[in-house]
Amino acid sequence: SAVISQKPSRDICQRGTSLTIQCQVDSQVTMMFWYRQQPGQSLTLIATANQGSEATYESGFVIDKFPISRPNLTFSTLTVSNMSPEDSSIYLCSVGGTGGSYNEQFFGPGTRLTVL
């Protein structure tokens, strides 16, 4: 299984500011995904981070609000821009396709964001 780390683990931010979350994987992976989990709810996919091209966003999520970088096969960042209290959530990085296997998908420890 892949070992995934995220930074920061948690943060408290002011309305109108931006936060960049980092995701680092210990092996090269084809696909990286960013999810959001709002309090008491399940996971919602924000976007698929593609190496060498723009991210693919799900309905309801836009690049201006959630810009994503994927500079190489082991790293990605998600920025939450112009934050509001509604963005308070856990943001999770997920990877799949490690070692060519598509029967696994793992999650990082998450970043717990509180917006005041």
Partner 1 sequence: GQNIDQPTEMTATEGAIVQINCTYQTSGFNGLFWYQQHAGEAPTFLSYNVLDGLEEKGRFSSFLSRSKGYSYLLLKELQMKDSASYLCAVRDQGGGYNKLIFGAGTRLAVHP
94 binds partner 1 (CB under 8 A): yes
Residue from 88, 90, 80 nearest 115 by CA? 88
CA distance 35 to 73: 18
Q: Does 73 bind partner 1 (CB under 8 A)?
A: no
Q: Verify binding: residue 53, partner 1, rule CB under 8 A.
A: no
Question: Taking the complex as a whole, how short is the minimal distance between the CB of residue 16 and partner 1, in angstroms?
Answer: 27
Interface positions, 18-47, toward partner 1 (CB under 8 A)? 31, 33, 41-45
Conformational region of residue 37, where left means phi above 0, alpha means psi within -120 to 50, and beta covers everything else: beta
CB of 42 to partner 1, least distance (A): 5
- 58 DSSP 8-state letter: P
Q: Is 99 in the site for partner 1 (CB under 8 A)?
A: no
